[in-house]
Amino acid sequence: MSLLGDDGRGYDLARLLESCGVWREWLGGSTYASFVHFLSSPSAWESFMRIDDSTSRAQIHLQLRCRALLFDKATVALFLRSHPTNAANNNSSSSTSSSSIDVSKLNPNYLQLHGDDVYFTLEGSSQDGGAASNTAPSKSKSSFSAGSRYVEPEFDSLSQRYRNDELRETWYNQFIEKYKLTRPYKLSLGDRESEKRTPEEMTVYLRTLEKHKRRRVAFQDDLHTGYGNTGLDGNTSVDDDTPFFPETMFLMNCVPDSPLPPTTRVRDKKEIEFFGVLDTLPQVSTRSPVMIERLGIRPEYLNMEQGANINRGKTPRKHLSQEQASQVSRKVIARLLTGVGFEGATEAPVEVFSQFLSCHISKLGRNLKVLTDNYRKQCSAIELIRMFLQTSGYSNFGALAELIKDGTSNLVQQTQQQMHAIQTQLQPQHQNALRMAQQLQMTRQMHPQMQQMVHTQNLSFQQQQQLERMLRRHPSTPCPVMDMADKDRPLVQVKLENPAELPMDNKSSNPINARHQQMQFRQQQLVAMSSLHSQSNNQFRQLLSPQIPQTMNMGGVVRAPPVKVEGFSELMGGDTTLKHEAEENKLTSPTTTK
Amino acid sequence: MNPNPQSSDGKHDDDSALSDFLASLMDYTPTIPDELVKHYLAKSGFQCPDVRLIRLVAVATQKFVAEVASDALQHCKARQAAVVKDKRDKQQKDKRLILVMDDLSKSLHEYGVNVKHQEYFADSPSTGIDPASREE
């Protein structure tokens, strides 16, 4: 340490301590007398500090005690780098071979012996009357806040012997004895009312602590600049050097140095990715790309060995809240009940069943956790899964495979049936469907025009009929015609009711029938269009209701029964409410006919 | 020489069958969504990023719940079939299969889950006892 000089003997520091009268206190009167002449010259000091075979045991002990005090006072140099007022000294103290710090700059009060630097009065056995055990010749400031100091057993016995025999007159013992006489510091735990935590006492504690720190600053510069002039109460006296034992003086009113709580590891709420034993499930043995496609195996599986993760970071993870999970559980239960054959359920069973579902999943999770935690090392992943299936009651997973197969085949069948139904509906009216698609496109394009026409309300009936014919006839207008192949694709799942059950006149012919259907579809289109814009809704209703019977009567046959078309709202992209309203008005018997 | 060649081969076949089964899980979307299963698995302390395992748990749960539901359906049908003949009009109206707590509790009882409602609640242990015997 730089305060001990280049040779590390600390002669200058020892001289300074002598000038402050510290050696006499530290060593005691009798020992001091044999020591003081070593401070007369550097050579004498060096001979004192040197240890060789001729050095007696008493001298070694004396040397150790001196070294203890020197090191204790010199340790302040270890903290000089963090001190801003010692920036000039930092440069010099940073290098090991640099010149030592001027010891004359040390604060004399700092060099004095202070019992409160060492003692923690709440520690110690009853034999010492609560005094801290001075078990080692060396002391350090770090032991001030420590509780029982860790001492090796043999060293402890040695220290006991020293304490009892040779260190009876050490300064610390004298100090604590004196302190006990002057100020009894035993805790009065019985009198709890006097020991209360109050803001006033805490303020006093802080002020006292501040004063104490100011008095004990190591360097005189700090005393007069940083700490010295800025006091809570402006009092910078250094004479009052009463020992500061906060554990007894401010039993309930000690305030921590920092308002911040001790730093603990912040809980990272992010999901920590870890690799468990079940992360490396065995891959499918096949390597054929065709088989891979057919089985639907994703490429990530094959790269598992390289550390690629399945569905890790691919899709954003959706974390469900408890309420959301309950809701989803209820929906799942409703779907399951429907699949089983129920047509309805009361509220209580759905609620109970959903909780049952969640409990079962949790139970399976617990089983998995127990198995993986306990048999992670003994068993492979596939064996663990087998064990899990056995505990769940599916040791023969054929039942699960059947469920999957049934589910997959049902889905395929359903899709195929839908496709077939749509194809059968579309095939007999192949051309009409195409025309309908064309008209649909046209109406979409002409919709603004029609809307204008409707808004003006100037259309005569004849004009409306012309519009109808125009819509019927338009094969050559430049409009995007649907691809022939698209006819097979279900635009929308349209389910027609009573498509062919029309009470027809015998005179009616197929073209008329087809024409009826065309008109019906066109009516649906018009209705669907009206659903797009609520403004024109009323006008449409007025127009359509007299219009329909006219067109029908023009055909000269019959009025077709209402045809309900589901899905047209989705087709047209409008809301269904208006559509239904329009439908109602359309489907009711027209009251007035021209 | 392998002491049990057949058993090792059989085990290998079982493992491959299980692996194929796990792979086929990706073709099937269970009724229970993956997020829901993950949520409850995480609650119980198990976390696995492999979707196949999540789907396995989902399928196992779905099968189990479907069995309970089908048992409840049987109870429901049996209950409706046991309606007295002179109440045939009501039977026509109540032909719909509706899950009620009674059927569910009977079904769950077979699986060791007791969800029966208490038949009555008593204020004290002596409630319901004949007053004459109570005095004694």
Indicate if the pLDDT at residue B41 is higher than 90.
Answer: yes
Decide which of A473 and A582 is more confident: A473
In B, which residues are within 8 Å of A269 by CB distance?
Answer: none
A302-311, A432-441, B6-15: which has the highest mean pLDDT?
B6-15
pLDDT in tens, A262-292: 765 555 555 555 566 666 665 554 444 554 4
Residue-averaged pLDDT of chain A:
65
**What pairs with residue B98 in β-bridges?**
A344
pLDDT tens readout for residues B74-87: 999 998 888 755 55
Query: Which backbone phi and psi does B98 adopt, to 5 degrees?
Result: -120, 130
Chain A: nearest CA to B130, how far in angstroms? 35
Higher-confidence residue of A219 and A392: namely A392
A400 vs B contacts (CB less than 8 Å): 21, 56, 59-60, 63
pLDDT-based confidence at residue A355 (cuts at 50, 70, 90): very high
**Percent share of chain A, pLDDT over 70:** 42
Which chain B residue has the Cα nearest residue A297? B23
Task: For residues A171 and A534, give the distance between their C-alpha atoms in angstroms, rounded to a whole number.
Answer: 101
Residues of chain A with pLDDT > 90: what percent?
Answer: 8
- Alpha helices per DSSP H over A303-429: 322-340, 347-374, 381-392, 398-426
- Please check whether residue B107 is in contact with residue B71, taking contact to mean a CB–CB distance below 8 angstroms: yes
- What single letter denotes the amino acid at residue B2? N
Q: Which residue of B has its CA nearest to A406?
A: B28
Cross-strand partners of B99: A345
Angle between helix B51-81 and B5-24 (nearest 10): 80
Of A309, A352, A361, the CB nearest to B41: A361
**pLDDT-derived band of residue A363, with 50, 70 and 90 as boundaries?**
very high
Q: How big is chain A, counted in residues?
A: 594
Q: Which range has the worst mean pLDDT, A444-448, A507-511, A525-529?
A: A507-511
Q: Which residues of A touch B112 (CB under 8 A)?
A: none
Percent of the residues in chain B that have a pLDDT greater than 70, as a whole number: 84
- Select from A278, A336, A408 the Cβ nearest to the Cβ of B69: A336
At A253, phi and psi to the nearest 5? -125, 25
Contact B40 A362 (CB under 8 A): yes
Of A350-354, A514-518, A537-541, the least confident? A537-541
Q: Is A520 helix (H, G, I), strand (E, B) or coil?
A: helix
> What average pLDDT score do residues A13-26 get?
88
For an interface test with B, the pick among A317, A324, A356, A379 (most B C-beta atoms closer than 10 Å) comes out as A356
> What is the pLDDT at residue A357?
94
Calculate helix-pair angle for B34-43, A322-340, nearest 10 degrees.
Answer: 130
A396-421 pLDDT, tens digit each: 888 888 888 877 776 667 667 767 76
**C-beta atoms of A385 and B47 within 8 A:** no
Can you tell me whether residue A458 is helix, strand or coil?
A: coil
pLDDT above 70 (res A472):
no
Mean pLDDT over residues A150-164, rounded? Answer: 51
pLDDT at B57 over 90: yes
Closest residue in chain B to residue A358, using alpha carbons only: B40
Query: What span, in angstroms and rounded, lies between the C-alpha atoms of B34 and B39?
Result: 9
pLDDT score for A264: 59
Between A316 and A86, residue with greater pLDDT? A316
- A284 to chain B, any CB pair closer than 8 A? The answer is yes
Tell me which chain B residue has its CA closest to the CA of residue A317. Answer: B35
> Taking a contact as any Cβ pair under 8 Å apart, which residues of chain A between 238 and 277 contact chain B?
271, 273-274, 276
For B60, which of A283, A350, A392 is closest by C-beta distance?
Answer: A392
Contact flag A344-B96 (C-beta cutoff 8 Å): yes
ipTM: 0.85
Residues on chain A touching B50 (C-beta within 8 angstroms): 278-279, 281, 310-311
pLDDT attached to residue A566: 58
Quick one: pLDDT at residue B3? 54
- For residue range B87-127, what is the model confidence (pLDDT) as tens digits? 555 555 557 889 999 999 999 999 988 887 777 778 888 87
Scanning A291-320 for CB atoms below 8 A from B yields 295-298, 301, 309-312, 318-320
Main-chain phi, psi angles of A106, to 5 degrees:
-75, 145
- Between A and B, how many residue pairs show a Cβ–Cβ distance under 8 A? 201
Q: What pLDDT, on a 0 to 100 scale, did the predictor assign at position A274?
A: 59
Least confident of A37-41, A568-572, B40-44: A568-572
Tokens of A528: 């669907």
The sign of the torsion formed by the CA atoms of A197, A200, A201, A207 equals positive
- Do residues A388 and A368 make contact, with C-beta atoms less than 8 angstroms apart? yes
Sorting pLDDT into bands at 50, 70 and 90, what band is A454? very low
What value does the CA radius of gyration of chain A take, rounded to a whole number of Å? 49
* C-alpha pair distances (Å), A380 with each of A27, A35, A376, B9, B15: 72, 76, 7, 17, 11
CB A576: neighbour CB atoms within 10 A? 14
Torsion angle, alpha carbons of B83, B84, B86, B89, to 10: 0
Residues of A in contact with B104 (CB under 8 A): 349, 352-353
Query: What domains appear along chain A, each with residue ranges and CATH number?
Result: 1-80+102-121+167-190 (no CATH), 322-422 (1.10.20.10)
Q: Can you say how many angstroms the Cα of residue B29 is from the centroid of all Cα atoms in its chain?
A: 20
Spatial distance between the Cα atoms of A433 and A489, rounded to a whole number of angstroms: 12
CB contact (8 A) between residue A333 and residue B16: no
Per-residue pLDDT at B37: 94
Residue A56 has pLDDT above 60, yes or no: yes
Distance (Å, whole) CA B29 – CA A334: 17
Selection from A65-79, A85-99, A228-242 with the highest mean pLDDT? A65-79
In the numeric block, the tokens 């109460």 are attached to A233
Nearest by CB to A296, which of B19, B26, B113?
B26
Tokens of A344: 């309805």
Residue A514 has pLDDT above 60, yes or no: no
CB-CB under 8 Å, B37 with A353: no
Q: Which residues on chain A are in Cβ contact (under 8 Å) with B18?
A: 382, 385-386, 397
Question: How far from the centroid of its chain's Cα atoms is residue B39's Cα?
Answer: 19
Distance from CA of B67 to the nearest CA of A (A): 9
Lowest mean pLDDT among A446-455, B8-17, B19-28: A446-455
A residues 423..452 contacting B (CB < 8 A): none
Dist. CA A311–CA B48, nearest whole Å: 11
Q: Are B69 and A336 in contact (CB under 8 A)?
A: yes
Out of A492-496, A559-563, B33-37, give the one with best mean pLDDT: B33-37
At residue B67 the predicted structure's pLDDT band, cuts being 50, 70 and 90, is very high
Q: Do residue A336 and residue B62 have CB atoms under 8 angstroms apart?
A: yes
Q: Find out whether A136 and A160 touch, Cβ atoms under 8 Å.
A: no
B46–chain A Cβ distance below 8 A for any pair: yes
Flag whether pLDDT at A350 surpasses 90: yes
pLDDT band, very low/low/confident/very high, at A476 (cuts 50, 70, 90) = very low
In tens, the pLDDT along A189-225 reads: 545 556 688 889 899 998 988 888 888 888 777 655 5
The DSSP secondary-structure symbol of B111 reads T
Residue A111 pLDDT: 84
A269 CA: distance to closest CA in chain B (Å): 14
Average pLDDT over residues A80-108: 56
Nearest to B50 by CA among A132, A189, A279: A279
**Contact status of A340 with chain B (Cβ, < 8 Å):** yes
pLDDT at residue A521 is higher than 90: no
**pLDDT tens digits, one per residue of A293-343:** 555 544 444 444 434 444 444 455 567 889 999 999 999 999 999 999 999
Cβ separation B99–A345 shorter than 8 A: yes
A140 reaches B (C-beta below 8 A): no
Give the separation between CA B37 and CA A365, rounded to whole angstroms.
9
- Sign of the CA dihedral B1, B2, B6, B11? negative
Cα(A308)–Cα(A310) distance, integer angstroms: 7
Question: How many Å apart are CA B62 and CA A183, to the nearest integer?
Answer: 78
Six-digit token string for B105? 């509790």
pLDDT at residue A94 tops 60: no
Q: Can you tell me the distance from the alpha carbon of A358 to that of B62, in angstroms, rounded to the nearest whole number?
A: 11
Cα–Cα distance measured from residue A30 to residue A386, given in angstroms and rounded to the nearest whole number? 85
Give the dihedral sign, CA A191/A193/A194/A199: positive
Q: What is the DSSP letter of A255?
A: -
Please report the pLDDT score of residue B58 as a whole number.
Answer: 94
Residue A442's pLDDT band (boundaries 50, 70, 90)?
A: low
Rounded to an integer, what distance in angstroms lies between the CA atom of residue A436 and that of residue A519? 10
Task: Concatenate the DSSP letters of all residues of A182-227 into one string.
Answer: HS-----TT-TTTS---HHHHHHHHHHHHHHHHHT-SBHHHHHTHH
- Do the Cβ atoms of B21 and A401 come closer than 8 Å? yes
B44 pLDDT above the threshold of 80: yes
Return the structure tokens found at A287: 């390597």
Higher pLDDT, A474 or A387: A387
Distance (Å, whole) CA A575 – CA B44 = 44
- Please tell me which residue, A590 or B72, carries the higher pLDDT value: B72
Distances (CA, A) of A128 to A124, A170, B7: 7, 15, 77
Distance from A87 to chain B by nearest Cα, in Å? Answer: 55
Rounded Cα gap, residues A49 and A155, in angstroms: 23
What is the value of pTM for the model shown?
Answer: 0.38
